[in-house]
Chains A and B, each alone.
Chain A
Amino acid sequence: GAVVSQHPSWVICKSGTSVKIECRSLDFQATTMFWYRQFPKQSLMLMATSNEGSKATYEQGVEKDKFLINHASLTLSTLTVTSAHPEDSSFYICSASPREGRQETQYFGPGTRLLVL
């Protein structure tokens, strides 16, 4: 089956540093990748939609200069949290849609837990 990986699975960093999270589709090509964040005991909130080779589309209220998204290839998208602050601590989950897939197919990564001290 389709597998999506994320790296790292968890990260602890100091306030003010930048953190990069990778999302990879391991056995399929993903035209579109999505980035979500999830606060404890809350639902997933879509942050942005990332299409290979083009700029990401951010949801309302998400700062694009704060959360930099790069989708350089059909198997890799990265999310960089710049100048991270404690309020950025969250669980970040990516998902990927296969290039040849149908709309209903979206595979999720295992998530990256970020803790900013």
Chain B
Amino acid sequence: GEDVEQSLFLSVREGDSSVINCTYTDSSSTYLYWYKQEPGAGLQLLTYIFSNMDMKQDQRLTVLLNKKDKHLSLRIADTQTGDSAIYFCAESGAGGTSYGKLTFGQGTILTVHP
């Protein structure tokens, strides 16, 4: 089945950039997502990228996709303490029975130090 892997922890200083990495195995993935989860809360969609794109930028967030290596990254510029949370990478299938179903990575705990 599909598999999504992330590093578990990332610690950065306030003001620095954060880069969270993700690898996936399903070559038929159509969309790849980044979600943010704060303690005790549900998931907030940060951004997503269609599989035929290489890059997407949205304010402080930059998503890079290397489809050949099945590698996705999320860069947060000027990281703030409010960015401390768990970040999940997810992918969705091509259609049919996989339509809309998301496979999540384990989540990366981002800690931002003042």
Known interface pairs A34-B100, A103-B99; A108-B88 also in contact (CB < 8 Å):
no
Known interface pairs A110-B41, A110-B42; A43-B88 also in contact (CB < 8 Å):
yes
Give the number of residues in B that approach A within 8 Å (Cβ atoms). 25
Interface centre among B42, B44, B101, B103 (most CB of A within 10 A): B42
B85 to chain A, nearest CB (A): 13
Prevailing SS type, chain A contact patch: strand
Residue contact B88 to A44, C-beta cutoff 8 Å: yes
CA distance A46 to B104 in the complex (A): 9
A42 to chain B, nearest CB (A): 7
Q: In the complex, which residues of chain B have a beta carbon less than 8 angstroms from the beta carbon of A32?
A: 100
Q: In the complex, which residues of chain B have a beta carbon less than 8 angstroms from the beta carbon of A93?
A: 42-43
Residue contact A106 to B100, C-beta cutoff 8 Å: yes
| 28 cross-chain CB contacts under 8 A | A32-B100, A34-B101, A34-B102, A42-B106, A43-B106, A44-B88, A44-B104, A45-B104, A49-B100, A57-B97, A93-B42, A95-B43, A95-B102, A97-B100, A103-B31, A103-B92, A103-B95, A103-B99, A104-B31, A104-B33, A104-B48, A104-B50, A106-B45, A108-B35, A110-B41, A110-B42, A111-B41, A111-B42
Interface on B for A, CB 8 Å cutoff?
Answer: 30-31, 33, 35, 40-45, 48, 50, 88, 92, 95, 97, 99-107
